C-alpha cells in the first residue's frame, strides 16, 4: 500500500506526510439563510492535537489506500474527498505531479470535526509541497472552497474566525492551549438534516460577522469565560436529529473539572474544556468506564 514517503528510497521527497487535524467549532452562530439556500455562519475555530495522517508517494499512480481504526466502510474511490481534492488540483494545475495517497483514518466520520475536510486539505497541502507551491496560494484557497465549506480553514489548520459558508477566513489567532476532551457517540449526523431541522427561511437580512480583530483572551480561564457567553446555534436542531447529543453533553458537564461542554459543528462530536491536561485525562478515564464504546479522545485545542 502507498505508505509515507518519509524514509523512502533515495531521490524521493522525505516530507510528504502531514497530519489532518480535527477542526473544532468552539462556538458557531448561524447568521441567516441566503436566497440561494446556503447558511451564513460565524464561528471561532480551533484545531486539536489529534487527527488523521495522510502521506503521498510520488512514485506511484494517482490513487488512495486507507487503513486505521476508523477506516471501516470508507470508500477509496473517486468520491473520497482526498481524490476529489487531488482531481481539482490537477485540473487547476494540469502539468503537476501527483502520486499514491495513503490515509490513516483515526477520526470518526460525519462527526462535526471536519475529518473529511481535513483530509482534503491535507491532500492539497501535499500536492502543493510536491509541486513547489506555497500553501497560502490564493488559487489553492479557491480550490479548497469549491470542495467543501470546512476545507479552506483546514488548509493551514490554525485557530481563526471563519465566516460565510466557510470561505471567509480571519487572520490566524493565538489562543491559549485548551486541554479538552472530544467525544463522539458513534452516530453519524448529516449536516443537511441538521440545517433542515433548524428551519430558517431564506432572507436578505443577515446578522453581522464579529470583527476579525476582536480580542481573544490570553488565558485559559479568560477564554473559558468568553466561550461561556457564546453558543452553537446548531445544537438544538442536532439534538432533534440525534437525541444522543443531549446525553453526551449532559455526561460531559457532570465530569469533575469540566468548565464548558458544547457540540462542535453540526455534531455529533462534542467537546469539554478543562483547566489542565491532568483533569482532561482523568475525565477521559471516568467516561470510558461508563460510556459503552463512545469515541473518547483527550487532546489540546489551539
pTM of the predicted protein model: 0.92
- Note whether 82 and 64 are within 8 A (CB): yes
Closest CA to 265 of 110, 62, 159, 50: 110
17-169 carries CATH number 3.30.565.10: no
Instruction: Write the class of the CATH domain 178-301.
Output: alpha beta
Q: Give the single-character DSSP code of 229.
A: T
From CA 276, how far away is CA 226, in angstroms rounded?
Answer: 18
Q: What angle do CA 164, 167, 169 make, to 5 degrees?
A: 90
Indicate which residues carry an active-site annotation. Answer: 23, 150
User: Where do the domains of the chain lie?
Assistant: 17-169, 178-301
Largest CA distance in the chain: 59
| Residue pLDDT, tens place only, 173-200 | 999 999 999 999 999 999 999 999 999 9
Residue 209 region by backbone torsions, left for phi larger than 0, else alpha for psi between -120 and 50, else beta? beta
| Residue pLDDT, tens place only, 219-247 | 999 999 999 999 999 999 999 999 999 99
Q: Find where cell 493565538 sits.
A: 174
| Residue pLDDT, tens place only, 119-151 | 999 999 999 999 999 888 999 999 999 999 999
DSSP letters spanning 251-301:
HHHTSTT--EEEE-TTSS-EEEE-SSHHHHHHHHHHHHHHHSS-EEEEEEE
pLDDT at residue 213 in the model: 59
Q: Find where cell 469565560 sits.
A: 225
Amino acid at each position: 500500500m502507498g505508505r509515507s514517503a518519509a524514509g523512502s528510497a533515495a531521490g524521493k521527497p522525505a516530507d510528504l506526510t502531514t497530519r489532518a487535524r480535527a477542526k473544532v467549532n468552539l462556538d458557531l452562530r448561524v447568521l441567516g439563510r441566503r436566497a440561494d439556500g446556503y447558511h451564513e455562519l460565524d464561528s471561532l475555530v480551533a484545531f486539536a492535537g489529534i487527527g488523521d495522517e495522510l502521506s503521498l508517494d510520488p512514485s506511484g499512480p494517482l490513487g488512495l489506500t486507507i487503513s486505521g481504526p476508523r477506516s471501516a466502510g470508507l470508500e477509496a474511490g473517486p468520491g473520497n474527498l482526498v481524490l476529489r481534492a487531488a482531481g481539482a488540483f490537477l485540473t487547476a494545475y494540469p502539468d503537476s505531479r501527483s502520486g499514491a495517497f495513503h490515509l490513516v483514518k483515526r477520526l470518526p466520520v460525519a462527526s462535526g470535526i471536519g475529518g473529511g475536510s481535513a483530509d482534503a486539505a491535507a491532500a492539497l497541502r501535499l500536492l502543493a509541497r510536491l509541486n513547489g507551491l506555497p500553501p497560502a496560494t490564493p488559487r489553492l484557497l479557491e480550490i479548497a472552497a469549491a470542495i467543501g465549506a470546512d476545507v479552506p480553514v483546514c488548509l493551514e489548520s490554525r485557530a481563526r474566525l471563519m465566516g460565510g459558508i466557510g470561505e471567509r477566513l480571519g487572520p490566524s489567532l493565538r489562543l491559549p492551549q485548551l486541554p479538552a476532551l472530544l467525544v463522539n457517540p458513534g452516530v453519524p449526523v448529516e449536516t443537511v438534516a441538521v440545517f433542515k431541522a433548524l428551519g430558517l427561511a431564506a432572507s436578505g437580512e443577515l446578522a453581522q460577522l464579529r470583527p476579525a480583530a476582536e480580542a481573544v483572551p490570553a488565558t485559559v480561564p479568560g477564554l473559558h469565560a468568553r466561550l461561556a457567553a457564546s453558543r452553537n446555534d446548531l445544537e438544538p436542531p442536532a439534538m432533534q436529529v440525534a437525541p444522543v447529543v443531549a446525553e453526551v453533553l449532559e455526561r460531559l458537564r457532570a465530569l469533575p473539572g469540566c468548565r464548558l461542554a458544547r457540540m462542535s459543528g453540526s455534531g455529533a462530536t462534542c467537546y469539554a474544556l478543562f483547566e489542565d491536561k491532568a483533569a482532561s485525562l482523568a475525565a477521559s478515564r471516568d467516561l470510558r468506564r461508563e460510556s459503552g464504546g463512545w469515541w473518547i479522545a483527550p487532546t489540546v485545542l489551539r
